[in-house]
């Protein structure tokens, strides 16, 4: 009966089932990965970054000979929960997913554990009382990203011979945050505030733009029509940043000069804007997590242990830096 469900059950209409090649992973890559089935749920396709993240998983699965069940949750937690339950019904070997929000995963992860299917959390973190419900996390360090953004501003606004900015008033910051309730929005805000605490910086306005360029534009139009004397825009992703820059240009505000801009992701468009002087600092969030996701899933498929947390290598790019040798971003 199990073989029937594994191989004869019709594909669910929501899945994109990818039958991949048969190249074996090297010993350096870890356990042999060919032959297992991975159920992977992505949160959506809201940005170039997210699309690159999806391609990275799909390409790594194909290269490793992994059968991938892929589901796009279209920015809805309930869709992801349905996808995970479908993966359980299909009896995949491993489940991996990018959680849209930080909480609300206990019940479905308990169902996965009862089915003896290990779960890998990707890109965004979750907060649950029983952390044994998932095997590990692979992705970005969102607190560190927020800290890196704030550390740039401290250097930017603090003279070399002083511990404090020379301004008689606080540096006024507008924050465009990510999707409400997501770990990246929570932790990028947390890390940023940890660093500016005790310094004359003031977040005068913070609003969620859902990581969307269109909302970044709309919100920045409203902000510029409402608030005066904005010194800094701190944006949680490049999409919102680029939309905000469009709004500034429409009002003859020089981005990167009249308003200092710090952004996170390091899409090609943001790096190009940094080179033009329209952005002052870009904190990288590495979307190319696919090889590591497949490597860790291979261990889990063999019922071997994995590290509890694996953070991606990420850089910080800033004005005045040498970007001549930086290869195309691919997203």
Q: Where are the domains of the chain?
A: 2-140+287-314, 142-285
| Residue carrying the six token digits 């029983």 | 130
**CATH of region 2-140+287-314:** 3.40.50.2300
CB 176 within 8 A of CB 236: yes
CA separation for the pair 98, 121 (Å, rounded)? 6
What string of pLDDT tens digits covers the 331 residues of the chain? Answer: 433 344 333 344 344 443 333 333 333 344 444 579 999 999 999 899 999 999 999 999 999 999 999 999 999 999 999 999 999 999 999 999 999 999 999 999 999 999 999 999 999 999 999 999 999 999 999 999 999 999 999 999 986 655 555 556 899 999 999 999 999 999 999 999 999 999 999 999 999 999 999 999 999 999 999 999 999 999 999 999 999 999 999 999 999 999 999 999 999 999 999 999 999 999 999 999 999 999 999 999 999 999 999 999 999 999 999 998 899 999 9
CA separation for the pair 127, 150 (Å, rounded)? 25
CB 225 within 8 A of CB 197: no
- 235, β-bridge pairs: 176, 263
CB 40 within 8 A of CB 68: yes
| Residue carrying the six token digits 């006024």 | 172
- The answer to whether the 2-140+287-314 and 142-285 domains have the same CATH topology is yes
CB 4 within 8 A of CB 73: no
* Residue 327: Cβ-neighbour burial (10 angstroms; 0-12, 13-18, 19+): exposed
C-alpha atoms less than 13 angstroms from C-alpha of 282 in its C-beta half-sphere: 28
CA separation for the pair 111, 114 (Å, rounded)? 5
CB 74 within 8 A of CB 44: yes
The Cα-based distances of 261 to 161, 234, 237 in angstroms read 24, 6, 11
CA separation for the pair 95, 39 (Å, rounded)? 5
**CATH of region 142-285:** 3.40.50.2300
Q: Give the list of residues 6+ apart from residue 240 with CB closer than 8 angstroms, or none.
A: 176, 209, 211, 212, 213, 215, 216, 219
């Amino acid at each position: 009966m199990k073989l029937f469900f594994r191989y004869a059950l019709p594909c669910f209409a929501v899945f994109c089932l990818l039958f991949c090649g048969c190249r074996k992973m090297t010993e350096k890559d870890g356990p042999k990965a060919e032959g297992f089935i991975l159920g992977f749920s992505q949160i959506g396709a809201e940005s170039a970054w997210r699309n690159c993240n999806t391609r990275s998983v799909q390409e790594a699965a194909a290269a490793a000979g992994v059968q991938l069940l892929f589901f796009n949750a279209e920015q809805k937690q309930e869709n992801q929960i349905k996808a995970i339950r479908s993966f359980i019904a299909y009896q995949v070997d491993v489940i991996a997913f990018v959680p849209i929000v930080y909480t609300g995963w206990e019940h479905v992860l308990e169902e996965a554990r009862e089915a003896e299917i290990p779960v890998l959390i990707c890109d965004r973190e979750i907060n649950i009382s029983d952390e044994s419900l998932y095997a590990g996390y692979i992705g970005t360090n969102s607190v560190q990203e927020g800290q890196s953004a704030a550390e740039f501003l401290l250097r930017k606004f603090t003279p070399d011979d002083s511990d404090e900015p020379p301004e008689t008033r606080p540096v006024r910051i507008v924050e465009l945050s990510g999707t409400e309730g997501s770990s990246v929005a929570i932790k990028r805000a947390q890390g940023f505030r940890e660093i500016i605490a005790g310094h004359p910086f003031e977040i005068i306005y913070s609003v969620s733009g859902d990581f969307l360029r269109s909302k970044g534009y709309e919100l920045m139009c409203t902000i510029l029509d409402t608030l005066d004397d904005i010194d800094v825009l701190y944006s949680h992703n490049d999409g919102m940043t680029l939309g905000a820059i469009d709004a500034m240009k429409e009002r003859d505000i020089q981005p990167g000069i009249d308003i200092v801009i710090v952004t996170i992701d390091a899409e090609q468009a943001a790096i190009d804007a940094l080179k033009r002087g329209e952005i002052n600092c870009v904190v990288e969030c590495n979307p190319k997590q696919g090889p590591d996701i497949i490597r860790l899933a291979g261990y889990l498929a063999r019922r071997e242990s994995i590290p509890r947390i694996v953070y991606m290598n990420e850089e910080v790019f800033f004005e005045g830096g040498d970007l001549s040798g930086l290869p195309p971003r691919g997203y």
